[in-house]
Amino acid sequence: MKGEKLWQRTISESICEIAFTIGSRHGIKTRTVRQKLWVQRVDLPAGKGKTVAATSIIAREFDAPAGVKPIEWRGLTSRSEASLDDAIELIDWYRTSRRRWGQLRIAA
């Protein structure tokens, strides 16, 4: 990872697409949000030549309506094995704790 930016390294090939419905807010109507999901295990510098293992997760909206800022979520977890289900669970936890996103589902 030396010399690479964390989020740039995370985005190589998306592992799936997810979708959920977001309620109306700030004058924007209720809509379906579709995001690509990336998960990457990384070692972060921890000083004195040490590293800390983490998993970075990015969920980035594609095909957002014209004039609407795409929704992107980035997160780090210390979970050693972040599977697709783990990543979705973390995104769902964030979504529900923020009370701003709707039901999450994997796009077929």
Domain map of the chain by residue range? 6-106
Among 61, 16, 92, 85, residue whose Cα is nearest residue 101: 92
61 beta partners = 35
pLDDT tens by residue, 3-35 = 568 788 788 778 889 998 888 877 778 899 999
Q: Which residue has the higher pLDDT, 94 or 65?
A: 65
Distances from the Cα of 75 to the Cα of 7, 26, 65, angstroms: 10, 25, 24
Q: What is the pTM of this model?
A: 0.74
Q: CB-based burial of residue 42 (10 Å sphere; 0-12 exposed, 13-18 middle, 19+ buried)? A: middle
Could you give the CA distance from residue 9 to residue 1 in angstroms, rounded to a whole number? 8
Look-up: residue for tokens 């995001």?
Answer: 35
